[in-house]
């Protein structure tokens, strides 16, 4: 069974694709290396596609498609059968928390830590990319 993985919030993916400098890009470059496992769900993949397609994000459609395809290839796809909604301050983040709980992921990686207040009640930690990389012993 899939356990002890992470869920990547959309803002981390956006940051990683907008610049090659920084923790988000470094984290993305470690996907599929065995250092950690990622979980995705159909709603999260749709969210990734929707956000990365926005013109103001500035990511080419081919780059976005390649990254999403790779994420789908190396990640554990989890069906979410139980919804905890509404739980978080921003209802748009509830499906990310639900994925983490359903997949037994221990951590959500995000830049919007405050948006996930209360996730600890489900045994899910909320970390920024640099914090997670530091736990892996990766220096930036």
Find tokens 């984290």 and name the residue: 27
Do 39 and 100 meet the contact criterion of CB atoms below 8 Å apart?
yes
pLDDT at 86: 65
Q: Round to whole Å and give the CA distance between 136 and 115.
A: 24
pLDDT at 92: 79
Question: What pairs with residue 76 in β-bridges?
Answer: 39
Q: How many other β-carbons are positioned within 10 Å of the β-carbon of residue 118?
A: 12
Do 91 and 98 meet the contact criterion of CB atoms below 8 Å apart?
no
Q: Round to whole Å and give the CA distance between 81 and 79.
A: 6
CA atoms within a 13 Å half-sphere pointing along the CA-CB vector of 1? 6
Q: What angle do CA 21, 30, 28 make, to 5 degrees?
A: 50
Instruction: Give 28-75 pLDDT, tens digit per residue.
Output: 999 999 999 999 999 999 999 999 999 999 999 999 999 999 999 999
The residue ranges of every structural domain in the chain are: 6-135
Query: Among 3.40.50.2300, 3.40.50.1010, 3.40.50.300, 2.60.40.10, what is the CATH number of 6-135?
Result: 3.40.50.1010
pLDDT at 2: 43
Do 127 and 111 meet the contact criterion of CB atoms below 8 Å apart?
no
**pLDDT class of 3 with cuts at 50, 70, 90:** very low
pLDDT at 50: 95
Q: Round to whole Å and give the CA distance between 128 and 31.
A: 16
pTM (whole model) above 0.85: yes
pLDDT at 109: 98
């Amino acid at each position: 069974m899939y356990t002890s993985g992470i869920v990547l919030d959309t803002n981390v993916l956006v940051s990683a694709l907008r610049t090659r400098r920084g923790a988000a890009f470094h984290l993305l470059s470690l996907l599929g290396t065995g250092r950690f496992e990622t979980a995705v769900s159909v709603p999260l993949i749709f969210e990734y596609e929707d956000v990365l397609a926005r013109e103001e994000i500035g990511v080419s459609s081919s780059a976005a498609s390649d990254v999403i395809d790779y994420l789908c290839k190396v990640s554990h796809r989890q069906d979410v059968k139980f919804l905890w909604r509404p739980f978080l301050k921003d209802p748009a983040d509830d499906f990310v928390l639900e994925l983490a709980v359903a997949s037994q992921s221990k951590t959500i990686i995000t830049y919007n830590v405050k948006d996930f207040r209360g996730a600890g009640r489900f045994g899910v930690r909320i970390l920024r990319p640099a914090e997670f990389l530091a736990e892996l012993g990766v220096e930036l």
